[in-house]
Amino acid sequence: QLPEKVKIIEVGPRDGLQNEVEISLSDKISLVNILSHTGLTLIESGSFVSPKWVPQMANSGELFNRIKRTTGVTYSALTPNLIGLNAAIAANVDEVAIFGSASESFSRNNINCSIADSLRQFEPVIKQARTAGLAVRGYVSCTLGCPYEGYISINKVAKVAQQLHDMGCYQISLGDTVGVGTPEAAKAMINAVSQHVPIDNLAVHFHDTYGQALANIYAALQLGISVIDSAVAGLGGCPYAQGASGNVATEDVVYMLNGLGIESGVDLSELIAAGNFICQRLKRPNGSKVALAYPAA
Ligand code: HMG
Ligand code: MG
């Protein structure tokens, strides 16, 4: 039973551009502003992390202060700790996300601590965010494999997802950080997680490294998942997941949803224009197959 409607979480300005050094702040702001008029309702626009770890996101505060906010669009950011949360609140972020992992070694490489320590650190972040009136989303990375450890048990994924949900995250985004998953593996993982977290509180976040993302999304839709993370033009990767290519392209997801008769509210041609804009600025070919095939306006 496929859902009638799907919500797309646009992560391009964050997950995509966190890897890019050669992009100006004004181009980032333009991208968020253009995306704001495509029908997308949630744009993960930046990240309040240590500038020593991810210098590409160091100007997120300024970005949030300068974007033109559109009614009906939620602008969110990553906040791994209280320093990040306070900076996000000061920049009037609408919603925040914390990011845990199902893999110990990825956790240590990405946020410099064990899974257990990360959960302890997220607790006050979630509490204070909610006191400030901000909803908190939770990511679980490495749900279908880890760049350092390879195989990750689906029970570990389910456990971390449940803990983040119990701690107050309104939605858990299941990340295939390295894009190694295939549809039946994705289904098994989602089924395991949904024993502990209601399916309506789950989202999927596929990177397309091995070209499996759309197939995996279709598998997830069949299980009733109705929230999909994607990045315009297939921007992205993760600075701590070597070889990870971009997120699934939002254009390709919207095209597939249109074909399935599933409503997303996103205008495909406006979205393609946004993707073409950023690819032009990055001086690189568009990572969306749909964008490449789409007749030029
Ligand atoms: P840490 O290095 O362990 O140390 O940081 P710390 O907390 O002791 O802080 C060290 C220094 O950083 C201090 O400065 C702090 O003030 C500063 P110093 O005294 O040395 O001058 N600092 C900060 N500055 C600004 N904003 C902050 C902040 N926190 C500390 N928030 C930390 C731990 C988690 C902060 C660090 O490891 C970090 O920033 N990691 C971020 C890694 C990251 O952004 N990864 C990419 C996003 S995750 C992803 O892409 C996966 C996802 O897409 C899902 C998927 O695909 O699976 C979400
Ligand atoms: Mg990601």
pLDDT tens digit sequence for 45-72:
999 999 999 999 999 999 999 999 999 9
- Distance, C-alpha 61 to centroid of its chain: 19
pLDDT tens digit sequence for 74-99:
999 999 999 999 999 999 999 999 99
Q: How far is the CA of 51 from the centre of ligand 1 (A)?
A: 7
User: What six digits make up the tokens of 32?
Assistant: 């968020």
Per-residue pLDDT band at 237 (split at 50, 70, 90): low
Q: Give yes or no for a contact between 240 and 219, defined as CB atoms under 8 angstroms apart.
A: no
Q: How far is the CA of 182 from the centre of ligand 1 (A)?
A: 30
Q: Give yes or no for a contact between 95 and 76, defined as CB atoms under 8 angstroms apart.
A: yes
- With 60 as the cut, is the pLDDT of residue 192 above it? yes
- With 70 as the cut, is the pLDDT of residue 243 above it? no
One DSSP character per residue, 137-193 reads EEEEE-BTBBTTTB---HHHHHHHHHHHHHTT-SEEEEEETT----HHHHHHHHHHH
- With 80 as the cut, is the pLDDT of residue 296 above it? no
Q: Give yes or no for a contact between 262 and 3, defined as CB atoms under 8 angstroms apart.
A: yes
Q: How far is the CA of 78 from the centre of ligand 1 (A)?
A: 10
Identify the residues whose C-beta falls under 6 Å from ligand 1: 15, 18, 47-54, 78, 80-81, 83-84, 99, 110-112, 139, 141, 175, 177, 205, 207, 238-240
More confident residue, 189 or 242: 189
Can you give the pTM of this predicted structure?
0.97
